[in-house]
Amino acid sequence: MLAKPRPLDRVADVEDGAAAKAAGLDALYGHLKPLEIIERAARDLFHDEIAAVSSFGADSAVLLHMIAEIDRTLPVIFLDTGKHFEETLGYRDALVADFGLTNIRVIKPDEAALERIDPTGNLHQNNTDACCDVRKVEPLARGVAPFRAWFTGRKRFQASTRAALPVFEAVGPRIRINPLAHWTTSDQADYMRSHALRENPLVAYGYLSIGCFPCTQPVQPGEDARSGRWAGHAKTECGIHLSGLEVSLTDASL
């Protein structure tokens, strides 16, 4: 008689399956135009089990506009960390109105966890990783848990850490889709201009990648778009696109 798989064996099997599926999807559809990728994923591949995650930051309008072209009811998850710029919150509301998006899901950090881990709200001053974990990684894991896949607006040009970004990738047992992965800064600018999309007002002040206000500053000329995030630290990603989210999703799947 075969031994009953241990939980970790089962998780490994599921994750291996997701990785193989992501690689297959990338080979089949990764070359398509972004709008075609979104349409294929939303209508054929994942149906009502797919969402989008948006920061409503510097580059968010393009993906959201494309999603609205396909399905305005598609769930859009927004992480309200409690540390956003007021301009970002206003921009979120403006884009939702501009595009007629009807299914915005605001996810917040767990209040009990905040009280335990960051009671003063100053955790970012001495432990940025722990702050991102409680304000971003864990909440996003909850937000995407009901879905089999989700869209992001990440692009290869944004940072050296994203230079090899695929269109389809596995995150634990789920699939993350980056329809704009291959786009350049010119592609982004051309689309914004041709569709008369409004910018996050902070872009005019040099904020080319926008996160929480304590850890975001304007980008200097010649630097990559994410150099203003956690300036002075080795940190370049908040964790929602790294293994921290994968671990959270795996734990939730046990």
The residues that are catalytic are 238
- The Cα–Cα gap between 40 and 35 comes to 9
Across the beta sheet with 76-79, the strand order is: 104-107, 76-79, 50-53, 149-151, 174-177, 168-171
Nearest CA to 78 among 111, 58, 54? 54
Q: Which long-range contacts (CB under 8 A, 24 or more apart) does 201-207 make?
A: 201/87, 201/90, 201/91, 202/58, 202/85, 202/87, 202/88, 203/58, 207/58
